[in-house]
Amino acid sequence: MSQSQSPSIGQPTVPAASDTLEYSPQPGLLDETRAADGSVKPGWQYLLQSVGDLGPEVMRQREHKARRILRDDGATYNLYGKPGSPSTSWELDTVPYVIDSEDWAGIEAGLVERSELFNLILRDLYGPRDIIRHGALPPEALFGHGGFLRACQGLQMPGEQELILHAVDIVRRADGSVCVLSDRTQAPSGSGYVLENRTVMSRVFPSLYRDSHVHRIASFYHRLRLKLISLSPSGDIPRIALLTPGARNESYFEHAYLANYMGFPMVQSGDLVVRNGFLWMKSLEGLKRVDVLLRRVDDESCDPVELRADSQMGVPGLLEVVRTGRLVIANPLGSGVLENPALLKYLPAISMLLLGREPRLDSVQTYWAGDHRDLAFINDNIRSLIIKNTWRGSNEPSVFAGDLDETQLQALLARIHRYRHQFVAQEKLAKSYTPAFNGSGLEPRPTLLRTFSVATDNSYTVLPGGLTRIGTSLDGQFISMQEGSPSKDTWVTASEPERAPVPGLAPEKRHFSGESALDSPPSRVVENLYWMGRYAERADASMRLLRTVFVMLNGEDPISADAQRILLQTVSEITYTLPGFTTATAAQLADPEAELMQIVRDGERVGSVRSTINSMLLAADESKELLSTDTIRVINDVRDALDNLDGDLAGGLASAPEEALDPLVTALAGLSGLTQESMIRGMGWHFIEMGKRIERAQQTIATVKGLMGTVSGEMEQSTLLTALLTSMEVLITYRRRGREKRGIELGLELVLLDSRNPRSLLFQLERLQEHLVELPRPGKESGELNAESRALLEASTLVKLSTLPQLLQVADQRRPELEARMTQLADLLREFSRLITDKHFDHRSGPQQLFTSFGGTAPGVLNAGLPGAGERG
């Protein structure tokens, strides 16, 4: 349920007249900046003073800078159910949430204790279940919870702690203490965003950050890494990978960010395979054993054999590998059971049983409908309560029952009564307020802090600070990333500068195996780089020809109908938007605007510039972890240019549409330059380059065939040759060399045979040969050339043996030799591409269930285990 939204940060309202910023708390609300006596808390004095002195204008500039850094880093948070715009930029309010270290020490101690307690609960629930057997937790609260995975009974990992990462959402109460709203124990998200927020803030406010003596957070991530290394099942240095559901996941940005920061490859389930009782990652160099997985996939989806059978995100057989101790997964499978809010009600009793004392941190008052008295309370007070399904996997959103109409309320009550064990109710907790910059002034916003604990040798370490999220307005009480709530950096400030980081945790110290994680990315990532290269080049070639066509259509000298037809048909051919102009009537050819505009901007049409670039962006998302920061920035430039395309094209054909394409062409050129200049010459580079070369060769072939295959009048010939040379960027060279040879002959030589021209066909084939010899060659070496080498050799021989006069022979107004040769080359390159991708990428078809839990397959399968006839006399 979303609340009414006020203007969000960054949409400046009327600028304040003064050039300083004042913050006044809202009377009657609990404000983080104020002590009980109304004075400004010591930790906030310096901050509010500094921000105040900066004034609104400077704050706006800083905010702008912050946004630019976030955007350059590709910081996004994907919102569900918003097709079309899959990612939303990460929102950061530039006023940090300050907690002084004395205050923090109390919170931290409570959080450490809570993580220890939750660890004991986890071990107990999948072990002896004393808390059930001794009556500290009603059986239904556990056994009726979807996160309790019976298949995980008895799983163990090295060390005392099973719960590796624990996130806790807390709010401040009027007496200054904090209260826990919820726990995240499945695959807690947010710690990557914390790192990004900190990086941005320390760059945007360098002196304020330095002078505030903010506790550093880097050691948290290093401790996490050390912990994961210590989990190695074999005791050797393990290969650790981060398991992500994929680019569509809401926090995919942070998965890639954390994986890169910690030096782990990022994998999806399709990159992994269980073989001979171990887990392996598919890389171009073959299978690489994986020992530890940092998991961002929900546990129930992880193994279709034993957990959810319909999961597409799992690895068949994974759980058994964990069970036999050959793989450790953090957080362990089954840990989602701790996210059950019904636990909060029984936490004091559970803590008495397991720790011998009540926990220091209070949890929000929770009513569990499985308890008769609580159910009665819920009945009587439902309008003032928030109703939650106890299992997040149910995907049932929490609702404030006061927002429901009578029908909805009755339906909800009926569900609660039917599934009593699966519902809790909580009171709406008043939150404390922190100042946020709204573009012109500082205003109070409700505030929620997510903290993070990581298991260390025998206890837990808490990240100093955490991920602060604020409401979108003063009265917006629901704070959720899915509702677009902005975040804040959280500063735990010391009165003195912090000591040097813990020895042994220095970031530069590398712990992983001698081979760099980047040496063998999953083959899926490399495949995506290959397609990224192809799509980028395809978009580039399409736009170059389109620009040329736009210029010619609008040119001073009108071009002939014949030339126009050939040009337009070639556009359809090379963009793969067939039939397009190839079946157009004369009238349609005379008025091509609508179709051309569609070819540029209709994202729904496969082959359009927009659709091709979108495909490229998708492929880039999938291989994000191999892209440098600069590359990600340039990709964002491409995305921005694409977003602006419609506006730039608004004038249609009449208003220089070629210029509208310039930003995109430039951004793509920047991307291409960066791959050349700053990408490690690993497999990723070879494949992105091969993708580019294959595509450019194909585009050149198609363009030559389209523009030169038909012979028309003198004038047309000249127009089409100019178009060819312009779109291939060799017009100037052509003019300079124009002395020795005649027009078309020279043009074709430049475009096809000149190995000094980086856009010529021969140039592409020569580069492809250089890449080909660098690819891994599984299997035995022999004198015999493999199929892809033969295809490539044949293609370049064909080109080299071509003579221009032969190619230019004319019969029946066509150039049959040229057309045949181009067709032959296109086929060879297509074959080459198929051979390369089949050989190096995994195209094994997806798994199917041998036995499906709930129908859908053949009756023969479904009868497994049913009695035969004659059972009952």
Partner 1 sequence: MRYRVTHSTHYRYAARVTSCYNLANVVPRDTKRQRCISSRIVVSPQPAVSRSRTDYFGNQAYHFEIQKAHKELVITAESEIHISDRDLDLNLDFGISYGQALHHLRNNRSQQTLEAREYLLDSPMIAASEELAAYAQPSFIPDRSLKSCVADLTSRIFHDFAYDPAFSTIATPLTEVLAHKRGVCQDFAHLQIGCLRAVGIPAKYVSGYIETLPPPGEEKMVGADATHAWVSYFCPDEGWLEFDPTNDTSASSQHIVTAFGRDYIDVTPIKGVIFGGGEAPVLSVSVNVERIED
Nearest CB to partner 1, comparing residues 811 and 866: 866
| Exposure letters 82-109 (e unless 16+ CB within 10 A, then b) | eeeebbeebbbbbbbbbbbbebbeebbe
User: Which 625-654 residues touch partner 1, going by CB under 8 A?
Assistant: none
Q: How many residues bind partner 1 (CB under 8 A)?
A: 53
523-553 and 561-575 helices, crossing angle to 10°: 170
Of the candidate residues 150, 357, 417, 800, the single one contacting partner 1 (CB under 8 A)? 150
Nearest CB to partner 1, comparing residues 324 and 381: 324
Nearest CB to partner 1, comparing residues 56 and 144: 144
Of the candidate residues 64, 82, 133, 777, the single one contacting partner 1 (CB under 8 A)? 133
Nearest CB to partner 1, comparing residues 5 and 863: 863
Smallest distance, partner 1 to C-beta of residue 849, A: 6
Nearest CB to partner 1, comparing residues 196 and 371: 371
Smallest distance, partner 1 to C-beta of residue 776, A: 22
Q: Does 859 bind partner 1 (CB under 8 A)?
A: yes
User: Which span (204-212, 577-585, 748-756, 859-867) binds partner 1, by CB under 8 A?
Assistant: 859-867
Nearest CB to partner 1, comparing residues 153 and 410: 153
Q: Does 843 bind partner 1 (CB under 8 A)?
A: no
- For residue 66, give the 3-state DSSP assignment: helix
Q: Give the pairing type, strands 292-295 and 240-243.
A: parallel
Nearest CB to partner 1, comparing residues 561 and 850: 850
Q: Find all residues with CB under 8 Å of 63, minimum gap 6, and list them.
A: 9, 10, 94, 437, 439
In DSSP notation, 779-826 reads S---SSPPHHHHHHHHHHHHHHH--HHHHT--BTTB-HHHHHHHHHHH
CA dist., res. 838 & res. 566, Å (int): 36
191-204 and 218-230 helices, crossing angle to 10°: 150
User: Which span (256-264, 402-410, 540-548, 860-868) binds partner 1, by CB under 8 A?
Assistant: 860-868
Torsion of CA 800, 806, 810, 816, to 10 degrees: -50
Nearest CB to partner 1, comparing residues 183 and 306: 306
Tokens of 543: 């736009």
Of the candidate residues 16, 40, 132, 399, the single one contacting partner 1 (CB under 8 A)? 132
Nearest CB to partner 1, comparing residues 5 and 857: 857
Of the candidate residues 325, 758, 776, 847, the single one contacting partner 1 (CB under 8 A)? 847
Contact indicator for 246, 268 with CB cutoff of 8 Å: yes
In DSSP notation, 238-289 reads PPEEEE---TTSTTHHHHHHHHHHHT--EE-GGGEEEETTEEEEEETTEEEE
C-alpha distance from residue 135 to each of 138, 349, 355, 745 (Å): 6, 9, 16, 91
Q: Find all residues with CB under 8 Å of 490, minimum gap 6, and list them.
A: 96, 97, 99, 194, 449, 465, 466, 467, 468
Smallest distance, partner 1 to C-beta of residue 353, A: 13
Q: Which of 635, 629, 628, 632 is nearest to 680 (CA)?
A: 628
313 C-beta neighbours (distance < 10 Å), count: 19
Smallest distance, partner 1 to C-beta of residue 870, A: 7
Give the phi and the psi of residue 335 in degrees, each rounded to 5: -70, -10
Nearest CB to partner 1, comparing residues 805 and 870: 870
CA dist., res. 626 & res. 528, Å (int): 11
Q: Does 863 bind partner 1 (CB under 8 A)?
A: yes
Of the candidate residues 135, 507, 651, 776, the single one contacting partner 1 (CB under 8 A)? 135
Smallest distance, partner 1 to C-beta of residue 420, A: 10
Of the candidate residues 144, 265, 336, 466, the single one contacting partner 1 (CB under 8 A)? 144
Smallest distance, partner 1 to C-beta of residue 514, A: 29
User: Which 297-326 residues touch partner 1, going by CB under 8 A?
Assistant: 304-306, 309, 316-317, 320, 323-324
Nearest CB to partner 1, comparing residues 38 and 867: 867
Q: Does 151 bind partner 1 (CB under 8 A)?
A: yes
Smallest distance, partner 1 to C-beta of residue 317, A: 4
User: Which span (701-709, 787-795, 835-843, 853-861) binds partner 1, by CB under 8 A?
Assistant: 853-861
Task: Give the Cα-Cα-Cα angle 507, 509, 512 (nearest 5 degrees).
Answer: 110
From residue 412 to residue 431, the character string flagging contacts with partner 1 as x (rule: CB under 8 A) and all else as - is ---------x----------
Smallest distance, partner 1 to C-beta of residue 274, A: 7
Contact indicator for 266, 259 with CB cutoff of 8 Å: yes
Smallest distance, partner 1 to C-beta of residue 378, A: 19
Q: Does 336 bind partner 1 (CB under 8 A)?
A: no
User: Which span (5-13, 131-139, 675-683, 693-701) binds partner 1, by CB under 8 A?
Assistant: 131-139
Nearest CB to partner 1, comparing residues 164 and 273: 273
Tokens of 465: 């600070």
Smallest distance, partner 1 to C-beta of residue 286, A: 15
Nearest CB to partner 1, comparing residues 17 and 869: 869
Task: Give the Cα-Cα-Cα angle 127, 132, 135 (nearest 5 degrees).
Answer: 150
Of the candidate residues 28, 84, 647, 860, the single one contacting partner 1 (CB under 8 A)? 860
User: Which 587-606 residues touch partner 1, going by CB under 8 A?
Assistant: none
Give the phi and the psi of residue 166 in degrees, each rounded to 5: -140, 125
Nearest CB to partner 1, comparing residues 277 and 673: 277
CA dist., res. 31 & res. 732, Å (int): 68
| Residue 491 host element (H or E) | strand 487-493
From residue 252 to residue 291, the character string flagging contacts with partner 1 as x (rule: CB under 8 A) and all else as - is ----------------------xxxx--------------
Please state the length of the chain: 873
CA dist., res. 167 & res. 286, Å (int): 36
Binding site for partner 1 (CB under 8 A): 129, 132-133, 135, 138-140, 143-144, 150-151, 153, 274-277, 304-306, 309, 316-317, 320, 323-324, 421, 844-845, 847-851, 853-872
